[in-house]
A and B are shown apart, each in its own frame.
Chain A
Amino acid sequence: MSLAAGPGRGRKAESKDLELVVDKHVAYVQALDTRRGELEYHLTEHLRISGIYWGLVALHLLGQPDALPRDGLIEYVLSCWCENGGFGAAPGHDAHILYTTSAVQILAMTDGFAELEAKNANRKRKIADFVAGLQQTDGTFAGDEWGERDTRFMACAFITLSLLGYMPAQRPNDNPVVNVDAAVSHIRACQNFDGAFGLTPGAESHSGQVFACLAALSIAGALDSTLPTSAKDRLGAWLSERQQPSGGLNGRPEKLVDVCYSWWVMSSMSMIGRLHWIDREKLVRFVLECQDPDEGGIADRPGDMVDVFHLCFGVAGLSLVRYEGLVEVDAAYCMPKHILDGVLGR
């Protein structure tokens, strides 16, 4: 899977009605691994497993979950496993919580946990221990053994642990592997007067962090207890102001619109039940204008190079607003909802 940008640019199809070019996008994802002749293919290897996750989510939501060979995907993911229990982005790369999450998400989407356990028993437990071991006393999670922290990693941790079945609420009879209460109080400390969340207590609000905090709260089952109606209104107001006249959304006041930020903002609004506070039609139009109608792929903004990252979040955004023909996405996990219903038994 290549993360190289392009080949095309996002633009409006001439003399055609705007519509999602599903087949082109599927072909785009399938062709990504044939681009080894490009330097950028190699320069982006440090993201490869996340690239597979982005491509696979897009395929699932586009209704073509089998467009990439299942065995190949699982084999690749397992080849990224590290002795410490985490996954690297590519074989030989060091483990990090970001790539561990992507790996587990791919295994969930390919129904590959049996293959994981077949490698050697208790691998699920080892992954859970790796993730749990990254939690600090203040409730935050480090990204790896080198210790940098980020609210994003908290969401990664809860996504990963819940998919593996190791969140404390999923195992009421076992000793909890992580301290959920400490994590939740840290998230509360990151909330600002505008209702949104920052990277650390006192840091400026940022929609990427809002998504991470809401995803973590929602998986921890602490969303409603943390955010009463008035807080949801306040946060919803801040989030809804991210939509710009072009229909796209930005990540912070006065920044440029971007397809991926449109997803972080919309999924957040969805988690607090305020998605109807933005203009659906304009948003759909914006995303469709960011796709390359001939060769597939979606860009951050019309006119820019397309890539698989923005393809994933563009399609996920469309799915969230129930664009016709797309499989329903889950806002907290950015994965197909029906898969989560199965894995989480909900």
Chain B
Amino acid sequence: MASHGVPRVSGTATSDKSVAAKEKEQRQIAEYKGLEKDVIDRIKGKDFSNDTFQATSRLLQQNPEYHTIWNHRRILLQDVFRRELASGNSAVITTQADEAHNGDVQAASKAGLTLAQQEISLLLSEDLAFLIPLLKQYPKCYWIWNHRAWLLAKATELLPVRTASQMWRGELALVSKMLVLDSRNFHAWSYRRSTVEQIELLEGKSLAEDEFAYTTKMVNTNLSNFSAWHNRGQLLPRLLHERQATDEERKTTFDAELELITRALYTDPYDQSLWFYHQYLTSTLVISSSSDANGDARRTNILAAPISHVTSIAYLEQEIASIEDMLDGAEDCKYIYQALLEYSQRLQELADGSTDIVEPSKMASWLDEVRKLDPLREGRWLDLAVSLKL
């Protein structure tokens, strides 16, 4: 088992390096090992000072993959939190505060924080800021995201709701920035979902509408973004549930989504991510036709449950006709034939063999085209021919 992405330097092999380059590398190694030893010795000696903390910063800047050092950093932070909370700086308003701290007390109490919380909030903000340049340099480093999540969890645990939710809101803004730089960053999307979840818990309200609008913005910027389509599909049933949408409103929304993705597909039928979203929408037809009308189904469905067979069949027929039209000018697009085959198969299952809804000769010709266009997956098409009895 491995985390993916062994660091890859662009330099040349050792044997090709000049004497000067080799000497420089030896110096770098000595410095790095020295810094590492310093941090480890200090932690062993329970030196939880600011100097130790700064040393972990320098080491992690050189090597953010070093997870043990992140653990050390958290031990140091926890120690400060513990000391702050034990220091008695727990009063929000202290009438007899000494002069020097008067300003602090007033600022803190204004924000609804105790002095200890004020300190903790400052430390958390500083550490979150420390991570930003690292994240920009190593956007896929698991341990950096992991440390951020820990800091924010501490905010939730130790700070008043308002302050914590401000921090999480800042995090959401950061994730949005990261997604502008790389709109498919897997960590960023999953981190976004958990960030939204935390804000929702803290603020006691749903962000589904905002997040749905965000996916609209993302797919409008770049249609070929499966991550955004995926998130959109996840939000849709929840959104409708929260809107307490009527059956008619649900149908309007479903039709609008189908139209949106169909228009996109007409523009670029070669785009896999669009097909996946189309598949997602049609998959909800089958799911809802087979589940009952309880509250649970309403939360996972787009159309009002239960969907009748008649409705499902009508939608599938409509989509098959529309996808057939896409072939015009895109006869070499294998995804079109795959979709036609898939939806026809589903249609036949729904119709339960009553009549041949899609002519077998048509299906056979689609399968022939797929096999011609997609020899890589020949084994799959042979299996499909068997299961379709073609």
Give me the interface of A with B, judged by CB distance under 8 Å. Answer: 3-8, 35, 37-40, 42-47, 50, 54, 88, 92-94, 96, 98, 101-102, 144, 146-148, 152, 155-156, 159, 192-194, 198-200, 202-206, 208, 233, 236-237, 240-241, 243, 245, 252-255, 260, 274, 276-279, 282, 304-305, 307-310, 334
Contact = CB atoms under 8 A, between A and B. Distances in A.
B91 to A, nearest CB: 32
Interface string B371-388: 000011111100100010
B193 A282 contact: no
Contact of A309 (B2, B189, B280): B2
A243 B193 CA distance: 29
Interface residues of B, number: 60
B101 interface: no
Interface in B7-36: 7-10, 12-15, 22, 25-26, 28-29, 32-33
A250 to B, nearest CB: 11
Given A44-B7, A277-B377, 4 more contacts: A3-B7, A254-B272, A277-B379, A279-B378
Contacts of A102: 1
Interface in B124-164: 146, 149-150
Contact of A47 (B6, B272, B283): B6
12 contacts: A3-B6, A3-B7, A7-B12, A37-B14, A38-B25, A43-B63, A156-B1, A159-B1, A193-B280, A204-B226, A253-B226, A309-B6
B14 A252 contact: no
B241 interface: no
B243 interface: no
A204 B9 contact: no
Given A148-B146, A241-B272, A252-B186, A278 B379 contact: yes
Contact of B68 (A6, A54, A93, A152): A93
Contacts of B67: 46, 93-94, 96
B1 A202 contact: no
A202 B211 CA distance: 14
| Residues of A contacting B: mostly | loop
A39 B227 CA distance: 36
B4 A260 contact: yes
B68 to A, nearest CB: 4
Contacts, number: 160
B377 A243 contact: yes
A158 B249 CA distance: 46
A92 B376 contact: no
Nearest to B224: A254
A278 B380 CA distance: 8
B6 A42 contact: no
Contacts of A148: 146, 149-150
B32 A278 contact: no
A94 B13 contact: no
B1 A50 contact: yes
Given A46-B68, A193-B280, A194-B279, A37 B7 contact: no
A101 B272 contact: no
Nearest to B189: A204
Contacts of B376: 243, 245, 278-279, 282
A93 B69 CA distance: 9
B138 to A, nearest CB: 12
Nearest to B3: A98
